Amino acid sequence: MFRLASATVLAAVYTQLALGFQTSTFVHNPTVATTKTFALSASVNEINENDTSSYSEDDKSSTISRRNLGVQVKSLISATTLSLLATTTPATAEETAGRKVELVVSNLEGIEGNTGRIVIQTRPEWAPNGVNRFEELTSASFFEECRIFRVLPGFIAQFGINGDPAVQAKFRNNIKDDPVKVGNKKGTVVFATAGPNTRTTQLFINMGDNNFLDKQGFSPIGEVLEGMDVVEKLYAGYGEGQPQGKGPNQGKIQTQGNKYLIPEFPKLSFISKAGFL
């Protein structure tokens, strides 16, 4: 990107000079040239006092000296560079903003028909590998009918095992880790992991500030923009999963899916719809 921008700038400079760039403004009005150079430099916090040097009467000739030519080229490069930055910065910012994913959740508080909405903003600059997988799963409608099988208030709400074992098997390949760039704050969305490079489809939403997870390699991929009040209503009555608790057994979810979960844990909240906004 930098090389391309540099080549574009230089091409613009030499083209204007070759086409007979009007030098009289710089030659007969040296203060204009020097003031422009100073202002442009100041705008990018790279002020160079040498750019504001004055000209003698001998410089006011129709022949461009090497010094004047250098000032003109430098001014033109500065102006063109700033113009390019002005046009490319918004696109770059938009590109790194990620995408918004909406999750419509049913069975809130274990009550049939009680629904809510959670909006997640992905952050590729935090964890590009994780964001790619999350968006891939969203595009494949993977999360629809997924039960939020592990809800521990103040800690996490975990989901991401498909109700159909055949669908789950399609996404069993692991993805590479992302370095932890932001903390596991309340509202961040994170892939579950069992060790280095073991992330697949399971995610959790931090329901509290869990900074101790940072050193364990849990890298947030995004954050809840809307609906943390909905997250707080996810059914938590079954507690920790088996064998530590009485909640769903993850092994059985993997092999049996919703055929195991629905009859034995009917109050679990679940994602009825998932898609991009």
Each residue's pLDDT tens digit, 64-108:
334 443 444 444 444 444 344 344 334 344 446 799 999 999 999
Is residue 81 domain-shared with residue 155, that is, in the same domain?
A: no
Report CA-CA distances (Å) from 245 to 102, 151, 270.
Answer: 31, 12, 20
Contact 126, 98 (CB under 8 A): no
- Select from 170, 120, 150, 188 the least CA-distant residue to 270: 150
User: Which pLDDT score is estimated for 68?
Assistant: 45
The 10s digit of each residue's pLDDT in 8-66 is 434 443 344 333 333 333 333 433 333 333 232 233 332 233 333 333 334 433 333 34
Is residue 110 domain-shared with residue 211, that is, in the same domain?
A: yes
CATH assignment of the domain containing 157: 2.40.100.10
Is residue 241 domain-shared with residue 144, that is, in the same domain?
A: yes
Report CA-CA distances (Å) from 44 to 36, 85, 101, 148, 213.
Answer: 13, 11, 37, 49, 39
- Domain boundary, last residue among 95, 116, 139: 95
User: Which pLDDT score is estimated for 97?
Assistant: 74
User: Sign of the CA dihedral 213, 217, 223, 224?
Assistant: negative
Give me the helices (H) in 19-65, please.
Answer: 24-28, 30-43
Distance CA 231, CA 33 (A): 60
Q: Does the structure show a pLDDT above 70 at 229?
A: yes
Structure tokens at 177: 């880790």
Q: Reading across the β-sheet that carries 150-152, which strands appear in turn?
A: 150-152, 156-159, 203-206, 188-191, 220-226, 116-122, 100-106, 270-276
Is residue 232 domain-shared with residue 180, that is, in the same domain?
A: yes
Is residue 73 domain-shared with residue 190, that is, in the same domain?
A: no
User: Three-state SS for 64?
Assistant: coil
Q: Name the more confident of 13 and 159.
A: 159
Identify the domain containing residue 75 by its residue range.
Answer: 2-95
Contact 252, 126 (CB under 8 A): no
Name the amino acid, one letter, at 232. E
Distance CA 153, CA 72 (A): 65
Average pLDDT over residues 202-226: 98
Distance CA 55, CA 157 (A): 70
- Select from 135, 140, 143 the least CA-distant residue to 98: 135
User: Three-state SS for 113?
Assistant: coil
Is residue 83 domain-shared with residue 109, that is, in the same domain?
A: no
Q: Give the burial class of 204: count Cβ atoms within 10 A of its Cβ; 0-12 exposed, 13-18 middle, 19 or more buried.
A: buried
User: Which pLDDT score is estimated for 93?
Assistant: 43
Is residue 110 domain-shared with residue 77, that is, in the same domain?
A: no
User: Which pLDDT score is estimated for 222?
Assistant: 98
User: Which pLDDT score is estimated for 29?
Assistant: 41
Give me the helices (H) in 97-188, please.
Answer: 128-139, 165-169
Q: Which residue has the tokens 């920790």?
A: 240
Give the DSSP H or E segment for 70: helix 66-96
User: Which pLDDT score is estimated for 224?
Assistant: 98
Is residue 70 domain-shared with residue 180, that is, in the same domain?
A: no
Is residue 90 domain-shared with residue 104, that is, in the same domain?
A: no
Q: Does the structure show a pLDDT above 70 at 246?
A: yes
Name the amino acid, one letter, at 181. K
Q: How many CA atoms within 13 Å lie on the side-chain side of 232?
A: 7
User: Which pLDDT score is estimated for 89?
Assistant: 39
Number of separate domains in the chain? 2
To the nearest whole percent, how much of the chain has pLDDT over 90?
Answer: 65
Is residue 121 domain-shared with residue 141, that is, in the same domain?
A: yes
- Domain boundary, last residue among 95, 126, 158: 95
CA-based radius of gyration for the chain: 29
Q: Does the structure show a pLDDT above 90 at 187?
A: yes
